[in-house]
Structure 1
């Protein structure tokens, strides 16, 4: 079987890349070991975060680092055994999170975020997936005035520098917006630009259906079987092999299974995360996506139920589940919203691929013709799927890219 391009990885980044190539008339084969959208793309909070111009940094204050070291929080947890293996990543992550460097990174990151809604909207309309989208932002609620005031100051800065829109919520505003939420909160911050996705897996599948309608093919295969040929690339998939001139590695936290054998050793860490769906008591309803800011968990009204998501777990990618953050979050969440029984048989867990400078790897491999990278999107994979796919597709087809992607080039790792 032959094609113009092979895309490895059927998460939202890979699916979006394959779709953007197909929209440009290319024959594309999308390859994964599983059905599309079942890994990290399935388990996120379901936000297209237009406001997320500042990537999540590593704490700089010694007191905060010490509190995280106690390992009893909801927003972060770590495996002791993993620390020696992730020390190099964490050290560089901390270094890049310094205030001045972090602000420089945000300025380089912002163009991706700025096109997140518009590029999603094109695909949503083409895929007929409008019923999966809610367009009224999301809300952070605060337990203390100090937290509220600090976050409002940052929101004002982001509005001035990046044009994001927000609303300062009083306790009365919160009560009107979420009447079934407890009165524990002194105020809130509503980000007005982002869109919410009621079922991230269904959105990925809608993009897949559009991809197939445009002639794209999906095959199960092992990305580790990738090999270079005299004219391009070959992979074992389906009942045979597929050859193509170009191949895109969009395997998220598993990208190293392909990049390392080819001589590209990226320093990529993994932040694992958990979720669980819940029923509600009586007629209780959660109207919008809500974050308990000081505690570090999210409540999202998904089609499957109220999804409770945790923060980051620093562990080896393939280590067994340890959903202690979920158990901690559940107890707190039940005190502010009438969650009822769990709806899933067991907690879901996914792994976010994170670079130490908090920006994804997007661009052409420096030493192999026809090899392209699209991974490392950390917390913003869903947000950045379509824009990443578009700029990769434009680069492959020789078009001028919608934005300058030089800041995300693989060479910044010194490979």
Structure 2
């Protein structure tokens, strides 16, 4: 049996970042996943490191948008009715969190973490030698109607409070920034302090390689086989059992599968999403991620082409793919950008682990010595992975956390 200081379960961006941050504290680490690093949720996102995002994806208050969702006309949301009925308590909690007081709590909490996101990414990227993936281009939010632009004023309100830079753009200014966009009737907001990457999966794999190069070990194994062992924890892997004095659960959408065996249940659901890459015409360069705020998709330049990411699908995590949103999003995307032919044959599907308050769980598991939790990052997993990784590493080593971990406490439920 190989023994380490800490076992990290899950080799997505959160797990790989956590393992690297633990190594920075001088701990011996084993990183365990059932697949190779960066091949699940961390592979398929839009690759944004946000300095905005002060308003989470909440419960809609526009009856016309709700009607479009109910009739499955909107590319932003797709659903399975049985799933919606099952998660009705979560949706009710989301509606409560969408109140003014809920938005203020979230904005103050997320600012305290996101203001460190770019720097923490830079630190780990330098350790991993993968700076080439990173781009300081910001990202662009497009609004097709005046009503949508006005509805987003709350985001700009909090940006002014917390000192996040943004620029309001008219159609001509949008085209100065992105000449290939067909945005004659659009308004935009440019967030220059946000960064992006050309391959989220590539970054995650580089972080995991850096763990191994730093003396850690990478194993294939089933996290559900975690057990207590001689005052610590052990998990079976492809190279035999691994034991650790502590273990960190970074399993994202699969965390409940493990934790329910220890009597730990959290009010988390899974939102599914899809992406497909398209070739970009030679005369239509896209320089940064662009999000269509009314239709919920993102166009972002990646190594494989222009990645079209969809909005939200409420469907059981393990149900077969139902990528109807790709077609709906593509129809809308072609109205503003001349996407070429698909660069791959099938859409990718992934799952986002989400709490109703839109914040992850980061901290010690209640009642389980040596068991630590770092999951549920929702739509900001790529942004916050290095931040919550550092936070959990400081808590495990008994150091004063560099930010207040209170808003992420597992006990808040």
Above 0.5 in TM-score?
Answer: yes
Aligned match of 1:387: 387
What is the match of residue 110 of structure 2? 109
Give the corresponding residue for 1:10: 11
Q: Secondary structure in 2 aligned to 1:10?
A: coil
2: distance between equivalents of 1:61 and 1:345?
36
Question: In 1, distance between residues paired with 2:34 and 2:305?
Answer: 28
Equivalent residue, structure 2, for 1:118: 119
Which residue of the partner structure matches residue 364 of structure 2? 364
Q: Superposition pairs for residues 5-404 of structure 1, below 5 Å? A: 5-151=6-152, 153-404=153-404
Q: Kindly indicate whether the alpha-carbon contact (under 8 Å) linking 2:52 and 2:159 is maintained by their aligned counterparts in 1.
A: no
After TM superposition, the score normalised by the length of structure 1 is 0.96
Q: Deviations over 1:327-350 (max 9, x none)?
A: 101122123212111112210010
1:31 Cα deviation after fit? 0.5
Tell me by how many angstroms 1:18 deviates: 0.7
Moved more, 307-316 or 54-63: 54-63
Deviations along 1:212-266, one digit per CA (max 9) or x if unpaired, are 1111110000001000123200100122101111000010010011110100111
| Alpha-carbon distance in 2 for matches of 1:8, 1:107 | 30
Tell whether the 8 Å contact from 1:7 to 1:28 is kept in structure 2 after alignment.
yes
For 2:293 and 2:402, locate their aligned partners in 1 and report how far apart those are by CA, in whole Å.
34
Query: Given the two structures, how large is their TM-score scaled by the length of structure 2?
Result: 0.96
Per-residue deviation at 1:17? 0.5
Structure 1 residue 405 displacement after superposition: 0.5
Unaligned runs of 5+ in 2: none
Alpha-carbon RMSD across the aligned residues, in angstroms, is: 1.4
CA contact (8 A) 2:55 2:154 kept: no
Instruction: Give me the whole-angstrom Cα distance separating, in 2, the residues matched to 1:334 and 1:183.
Output: 11
Of residues 104-113 and 248-257 in structure 1, the stretch that sits farther from structure 2 once superposed is 104-113
1:150 and 1:31 map into 2 onto residues whose CA distance is: 43
State the distance in 1 between where 2:35 and 2:175 align: 43
**2 CA distance for matches of 1:64 and 1:142?**
15
Alpha-carbon distance in structure 2 between the residues aligned to 1:332 and 1:358: 27
Deviation at 1:363, TM superposition (A): 0.3
Moved more, 157-166 or 301-310: 157-166
Residues 179-232 of structure 1: CA distance to partner in whole angstroms, max 9, x if unpaired?
221144332110111001111111111211221111111000000100012320
State how far apart, in whole Å, the 1-side matches of 2:106 and 2:181 are. Answer: 36
Cα distance, 1:61 vs. partner?
Answer: 4.2
Measure, in 2, the Cα distance between the counterparts of 1:16 and 1:223: 18
> Is the Cα contact below 8 Å between 1:78 and 1:315 reproduced in 2?
yes
Whether the 8 Å contact between 1:169 and 1:187 is mirrored in structure 2 is yes
- For residue 103 of structure 2, give the secondary structure of its aligned residue in structure 1: helix
Q: Secondary structure at the match of 2:111?
A: helix
Deviation, structure 1 residue 322: 0.6
Q: In 2, are the aligned partners of 1:47 and 1:382 still within 8 Å (CA)?
A: yes
Deviation at 1:326, TM superposition (A): 0.7
Query: Displacement, 1:108?
Result: 2.2
* 5+ residue gaps, structure 1: none
Partner Cα separation in structure 1 for residue 316 and residue 125 of structure 2: 35
- In 2, the alpha carbon distance for the partners of 1:53 and 1:336 equals 26
Cα pair distance change 1:185/1:130, threshold 3 Å: farther
Following the alignment from structure 1 to structure 2, what is the Cα–Cα distance between the partners of residues 403 and 175?
Answer: 39
